[in-house]
Chains A and B, each alone.
Chain A
């Protein structure tokens, strides 16, 4: 890492990077409160990848939005490096299902938009270059989002989320809108990026394969109110072989959580 970036790199904190304690979330509807999340507990170590799988509407996206500070917590606390979160912040990067790149900015300007405000112009330039290279988009600095493929747009969005060097990267079904082949390619890319950055990744997905391929742990979320029903530790060395016995066994274990009643 360039020495000039040193002053805004967070020193690794002792203890968990992210800790969620007794989190409840409900929306008040005319017919009474709708409980979305109930008693969610989660501890993520620094530079861990935690996958969260669940059916659509189980509240997994809401959980990420709560951690991101985009929604109000009903009850409970989310600690980030020991500090309770309040509102959005640059120490939590967020990647959505759609790239959400600003169409009026070039790739370069989009990534620069994610920079910490205290950086001066040359530091900003350097950070943008570093992250363009990190996601493999060099040569596309001046391109507008509409000129990029879906996978490349998502790479740019990841760079924008990482350029402020967050402690946690929240990925909300980031590859859900991509085709199957691009998705697998992006999963390998995200691992490479993680190995370079060693940020804590929190990945929400409905793709069991993806969850097992990437996660150190896979948390299975139950439906309405959402809570963690099962935690599966994935003790397989990376890069993981999707057709290995260990991989298939873990995949089946999670699969059975969803479809046991049918078979």
Chain B
């Protein structure tokens, strides 16, 4: 998110990083999983890294987009009121980027959750993905379907929690405070 803010705020920063991000972005998260398992094993640390990688791009892009879309009219008001750059970023630019950041967070969360389950399908010693793979090996379709349903329900729960947080943080915005 911080990287996104700095890329949104500074043209130079964006130019410096655009090639790197352009190269890394199209790689699907799942493609990292074998390498991560090799480096970090099949424990929690590799899963956390998968979450980080999976949610990184949507969050980064939405942070850049949010900062870019800060209305210059508000920035002008802050200039007239002699606000420092710090106040400008904290009180004007970040709040106006918040709606866009939340969209990125929700998309990122979805991808992260999907990637974790995917990682578990490849190699893990616990988790829903592991349960599904295990059920396949012992031919228990009922357990597999329960696993699939559990993935859906957990995803819904995560999204619901994010929505609640969003409603609280964006209560000033009638279009976002209530909506989905």
Binary per-residue interface labels of chain B (90-105) against chain A in the complex, 1 for a CB within 8 Å, 0 otherwise: 0110011010000000
CB pair A98 B73 closer than 8 Å: yes
Q: Which of B74, B79, B96, B171 contacts A70 (CB 8 A)?
A: B79
A92 within 8 A of B: yes
Q: Which residues of chain A have C-beta atoms less than 8 A from B74's C-beta?
A: 100, 102
Docked Cα-Cα span, A236 to B95, in Å, equals 47
A79 within 8 A of B: no
A140 within 8 A of B: no
Q: How large is the interface on A (under 10, 10 to 19, 20 to 34, 35 or more residues)?
A: 20 to 34
- The answer to whether residues A88 and B174 also contact, given A70-B76, A100-B73 and a CB cut-off of 8 A, is no
- The answer to whether residues A68 and B80 also contact, given A104-B172, A105-B172, A146-B172 and a CB cut-off of 8 A, is yes
Q: Select from chain B the residue with minimum beta-carbon distance to A114.
A: B81
CB pair B172 A113 closer than 8 Å: no
- The answer to whether residues A103 and B172 also contact, given A96-B73, A98-B73 and a CB cut-off of 8 A, is yes
Min C-beta distance of B171 to chain A, whole Å: 8
Q: Which of A96, A103, A145, A164 contacts B81 (CB 8 A)?
A: A164
Min C-beta distance of B122 to chain A, whole Å: 43
B77 within 8 A of A: yes
Q: Which residues of chain B have C-beta atoms less than 8 A from A103's C-beta?
A: 172-173
CB pair B95 A102 closer than 8 Å: yes
CB pair A100 B81 closer than 8 Å: no
Q: Which residues of chain A have C-beta atoms less than 8 A from B173's C-beta?
A: 103-104, 146
B82 within 8 A of A: yes
Give the number of residues in B that approach A within 8 Å (Cβ atoms): 17
CB pair B95 A94 closer than 8 Å: no
Please report which residues of chain A, range 79-117, place their CB below 8 angstroms from some CB of chain B when the two chains form the complex. Answer: 88-90, 92-94, 96, 98, 100, 102-105, 113-114, 117
CB pair A88 B73 closer than 8 Å: no
Q: Which residues of chain B have C-beta atoms less than 8 A from A68's C-beta?
A: 80
CB pair B73 A144 closer than 8 Å: no
Please report which residues of chain B, range 22-74, place their CB below 8 angstroms from some CB of chain A when the two chains form the complex. Answer: 73-74
- The answer to whether residues A88 and B95 also contact, given A103-B173, A146-B172 and a CB cut-off of 8 A, is no
- The answer to whether residues A89 and B172 also contact, given A96-B73, A98-B73 and a CB cut-off of 8 A, is no
Q: Which residues of chain A have C-beta atoms less than 8 A from B96's C-beta?
A: 104
Q: Select from chain A the residue with minimum beta-carbon distance to B169.
A: A104
- The answer to whether residues A88 and B172 also contact, given A96-B73, A102-B95 and a CB cut-off of 8 A, is no
Q: Which residues of chain A have C-beta atoms less than 8 A from B91's C-beta?
A: 102, 113
Q: Which of B76, B77, B82, B98 contacts A89 (CB 8 A)?
A: B82
Q: Which residues of A contact B (CB under 8 A)?
A: 68-70, 88-90, 92-94, 96, 98, 100, 102-105, 113-114, 117, 144-146, 160, 164
29 pairs of residues in contact across A and B, judged by CB atoms under 8 Å: A69-B80, A70-B79, A88-B79, A88-B80, A88-B81, A88-B82, A89-B82, A92-B80, A93-B80, A94-B80, A96-B73, A96-B77, A102-B91, A102-B92, A103-B172, A104-B95, A104-B96, A104-B98, A104-B172, A104-B173, A105-B172, A113-B91, A114-B81, A117-B82, A144-B172, A145-B172, A146-B172, A146-B173, A164-B81
Q: Nearest 7 A-B pairs (CB), nearest first? A: A104-B95, A104-B172, A144-B172, A94-B80, A88-B80, A88-B79, A146-B174
Q: Which residues of B contact A (CB under 8 A)?
A: 73-74, 76-77, 79-82, 91-92, 95-96, 98, 171-174
Q: A88-B79, A113-B81 are in contact. List 14 more A-B contacts (CB 8 A).
A: A70-B76, A88-B80, A92-B80, A96-B77, A100-B74, A100-B77, A102-B74, A102-B77, A102-B95, A104-B96, A117-B82, A144-B172, A146-B172, A164-B81
